[in-house]
Amino acid sequence: MFVSYAQNFEDVMLWRALKHVENGFYIDIGAQDPVVDSVSLAFYEQGWRGVHVEPSIYYADRLRIARPDETVIQSAIGSRSGVLSFYEIDATGLSTGDARIAEKHRAAGFTVKETTVSCLTLSDILERYQEREVHWLKIDVEGMETQVIQGWLPSEVRPWVVVVESTYPLNQVETHEEWEPLLTKLGYEFVYFDGLNRFYVSKAHNELKERFKSPPNFFDNFALSGTSGVFCELLNNKLTQSEQEFYNQVERGREENQRLMDTLAEREREINELQAYVEQLNNDWKVAKGDLDDANKRNNELHAHVEQLNNELNVAKEDLDAVNKRVNELEVSHTQQKTMAEEVNRELQAVYASWSWRLTKPLRLMNKYIKRLPGVIKALLLYAAGLTMRIARWFFEIALSYVRRHPKQKEFIKKHLSRWPLLQVRLYNFASVRHDQASKLVCLTSAAPEGSPDLSGCPASVRSTYLQLWEARAHAAKSWEKEGRP
């Protein structure tokens, strides 16, 4: 479908006449904006290309940006080449080279900026494209149409269709009487007036005249672009209102979105804090669990220790009971022995108190001393003879004890004793005898006499002393029997 961008459907009428041409060529004098009210844009979209002549710097730059593959000539068109005072009214299609029209616009409240621009003639432009077929030429120069057409000298370049704006700016007063005769002389015939523009067809293409009998209508199968201010004002207003409502909704949506984002950020912050708190709780729980495990382990160890202590206590109680039992037995035995000793003592005292014992006392004493006299003499002789031996034995015992307490010195002593073999043999024999005596003492102390108390739990020194007392008692009893004592 053909989309119309022009101000007054100029492109629809031109397309109806020229749509059979593929990749046509056009020249647009006073092209203005590349989109808004553009006559050429619809053709550009259909593959056509052309030349744009625009004196305004603002619109020339916009054309170059929007149509980089087309020619844009920044210049005014007049009756002769040179320079021209140009009165520019920004962002409008009212810029003109006519000072009177510019003054009227200024009086109407428009801001008018006077500049100087280059000026070419229409013939200058057409001569550049002698080898091209120009299918349409549009002239929209805000009151300077006469000067433009005056600069169009007879030429072989004849556009098929010429469109000229034929009213004064911003009113319906027609101006074609000033310049139409010039077009007629150039071989053009008027075919259509749309209320703003007059359409002319070259006599070389009279077949196109039939296509201008009716204004734009349903059968032209076109759609409005929405950029034309006159025919789309209501639609544009509604669209603007809809856009404003949309923008308001978007703004509200943005505000709501920002609020939600802020809420989300706050929730994320709270979640992060909760996660940190949970992590701290987990760490505390792990520490507490570790402490609890340690406490349980310690408790189990304490229970085991208590159980061991209880067992040891039970064993100690059993031992204590056995000791108490043994003590009781010893106390009973001691009581019995004490009783027996008292009885024996009474009997002995009775003997000592008898007259026979008293009368025989001198005899007993004499007999005792006579018996002991040889032993005393012998003992004195033996004591004198064995004193040196005892001193040597005492020295050897000290040396032997030192060697036993310092095993590392043993090799050193053996090395030096090897020099005196006889002394070494005697020392070995002495050490062997002392070892046998110690072993015998252990055997004696371990073999308790019959009827003696159980001293297995007592130290060896106690057991040895007890055995010595026991032997002394037995020896005394034998002596008393020999002496006839009761």
DSSP string covering 38-67: -SSHHHHHTT-EEEEE---HHHHHHHHHH-
Question: Whole-model pTM?
Answer: 0.50
Q: Can you tell me the distance from the alpha carbon of 141 to that of 448, in angstroms, rounded to the nearest whole number?
A: 153
pLDDT tens for 11-29 read 999 999 999 999 999 999 9
Task: Give the residue with greater pLDDT, 198 vs 285.
Answer: 198
Where is pLDDT greater, at 426 or 195?
A: 195
What is the gyration radius of the CA atoms in the chain, in angstroms?
A: 74
Asked if the 2-227 domain carries CATH number 3.40.50.150, the reply is yes
- The tens digit of pLDDT for each residue in 135-171 reads 999 999 988 899 999 999 988 899 999 999 999 877 8
| Res 214 pLDDT > 90 | yes
pLDDT at site 151: 94
| Phi, psi at 446, each rounded to 5° | -85, -20
pLDDT of residue 445: 46
pLDDT of residue 1: 83
pLDDT tens digit string along 63-105? 999 999 999 999 999 999 999 887 887 766 677 767 777 788 8
pLDDT number for residue 4: 93
The 10s digit of each residue's pLDDT in 310-340 is 888 888 788 888 878 887 887 888 788 788 8
Give the pLDDT band of residue 250 (cuts 50, 70, 90): confident
Tokens of 465: 């002393």
Kindly tell me if the per-residue pLDDT of 420 is higher than 60. Answer: yes
- Span 28-53, pLDDT tens digits: 999 999 999 999 999 999 999 999 99
Per-residue pLDDT for 236 more than 60? no
Helix orientation angle between 421-446 and 410-417, rounded to the nearest 10 degrees: 130
In this prediction, residue 437 carries a pLDDT of 55
Q: What average pLDDT does the segment 187-199 reach? A: 96
| pLDDT in the model for residue 388 | 66
What does DSSP assign to residue 37?
Answer: B
Residues in contact with 113: Cβ distance below 8 Å, sequence separation at least 6, in sequence order: 87, 88, 89, 90
* Strands 2-4 and 222-224, bridge-based pairing: parallel
How much is the pLDDT for 352? 74
Residue 142 confidence (pLDDT): 82
Q: Is the pLDDT of residue 10 over 90?
A: yes
pLDDT of residue 257: 87
pLDDT at 450 over 90: no
| pLDDT tens per residue, range 350-389 | 877 877 767 777 777 777 777 777 776 776 667 666 666 7
Closest CA to 198 of 170, 167, 158: 167
